[in-house]
Structure formats: structure tokens, C-alpha cells
Amino acid sequence: MNSSTTASGLLGDTAARDYSGKLRRFNAFAAPELREAIASLALKPGMRVLDAGCGTGEALGWLAAEVAPEGTVVGIDLAVQHVKAARAVAPVDSALVLQANLMDAPLAPASFDLIWSVNVINHLRSPLAGIHALTALLRPGGRIALGQSSLLPDMYFAWDSRLERLVNEAVRQYYRDRYQLDERDLTAVRAIVGLLRKAGLRDVRARTFMIERLAPVRPEDENYLVEAIFRDTWGSRLQPYLSGGDYEELMRLCDPHHPDFALRRTDFHFLQSFTLVVGES
């Protein structure tokens, strides 16, 4: 287990880091599409499944339902607080949650039929090494399913592609500056197909699900977009990367109390991609 506060991930992940609120919001927001992606895997009762980087654990119940009644689901996550949250929601009779680094997981080799891992591989310093570590846990003929959101640029402001482009560029520059990364260091988010093939996986296939939301949005959608994106991902951190006028306009669109609030506009149309890439050992 890794309890160090020294960053072990490309994007600053440690056992002490906690962004469980953002993970819960994303899982509630994208639940319909995530469950559709899980259903596309055609899991069977009795299978043994690993959720590598399980976060706050919402997918553990969805996976357990697919392999019930005899199946088992194991979740691992590096962050102590994420594991605590996952244990609180995991099915007690069919799921086990461990605090562990997936690069050195305390799990038996060749013991899983499926490994599910969402928005995780791109956090590793060596995504290929991470895939090799996970593949070692697969039984012969087992599958690894890597999910990644936002392979395509998200669409927030259907009526203003210029501002949207500037905001996306500002976010990327912020992350490069914060973690001292070159833009090419972040390409793993787009390279899952190639990574699985390079790792020796067979029959690699990809399917992209569109997360599409129109006004009026569900409470789960508004909670995620306002708290996780408008405030946590954007907010004041983008001010140095935008002109004064563009930053002020963005803040108006992101403020639920302002008449220009984006999610109250009748032309609000949001698109985000979620891509699932599956390979067989």
C-alpha cells in the first residue's frame, strides 16, 4: 500500500489526495452512459471483476449487478478517502475495496475475468506499464476495458465556439503549468487503442458514447457542471490565461445567480464523449 504524500502520479495523485466530491458528481452525472458502457461488455454471472481506480465506488454496484449472484467485484484506489467513500456504497456481499497502488496491487495474478478502469490510465507516469500491470491480473482470455471521458473537446457553449475554444486552451495550459508538463506528456488520454495494442492485447475494439444534455438539465447534471467544472476546473484558476473581458463573460455564464447563466439558457446544449476501449489477453 502507498500512504506517502509524495506524488506518484503524473497529475499529482497520492494516497492523501482527495477529490471524492468531483468523482461522485461525475458518476451521478454520467451514470446513464457509464451503465450503458458496462452493459455493452456482456458480463456473465459468476465472473470476477476488478475496478482499477474505483474512486468513490459507484461503479462497483453496477458491475456487481452484472455478475450476480455468484460473481465478485474488487475495487482498488490509491487515495485513502476515495476508498473510504467506496466502501460506504459497495455491495457488502459481493464487493471488496482495497487501498492500493495499481502498479503493485496486492492481488493474485491471472485472477480476473474483466478489469474495468475509467479515467485512470492517463494519470500514470507510464500508462503502458500500468496496462502491463493490469494485464498480469487477467485470466487467459480475460478482458481489460479502459474508459476515458473527453477524447473530443467538450461542447459547453453551443452559441459561442470562440469562448469555448479559449477556455479549453486555458485549461490545458493551466494543467501544463501546474504539473510542469509538456503538451505531449498528456497524450495518453487520446491513445488508449494504441496502448492496448502495444501491450499485446488482442481484438482491441473501441466504442464512443456521447453524453448529451439539453436545457432543462437534471439536478445531477447541474451539480456536476457547476461544482466540478465551472468552479473546480475553471473558476479563478483560469483568470491568468484569459483576457479580462473573456474571463468576465465566462464568470457570468457560470454564475447560477446571473441572468446569463448558461444552464438556464434555452439554447444550452452540452456534449462530452466517453470512449471505452476493450482488449483481450
Q: How far apart are CA 59 and CA 86, in angstroms?
A: 9
Q: What residues of the chain score a pLDDT lower than 50? A: 1-6
Q: How far apart are CA 185 and CA 134, in angstroms?
A: 21
**Parallel, antiparallel or unpaired: strands 269-280 and 202-214:** antiparallel
Which pLDDT value is given to residue 42? Answer: 98
Q: What percent of the chain has pLDDT over 70?
A: 97
Which pLDDT value is given to residue 8? Answer: 59
Domain chopping of the chain, boundaries: 20-280
Read off the pLDDT of residues 55-95 as tens digits, 9 standing for 90 and up.
999 999 999 999 999 999 999 999 999 999 999 999 989 99
Torsion of CA 9, 13, 14, 15, to 10 degrees: -120
Residue type, 117: S
DSSP letter at 155?
B
Which pLDDT value is given to residue 21? Answer: 96
Q: Which CATH superfamily is domain 20-280 in?
A: Vaccinia Virus protein VP39 (3.40.50.150)
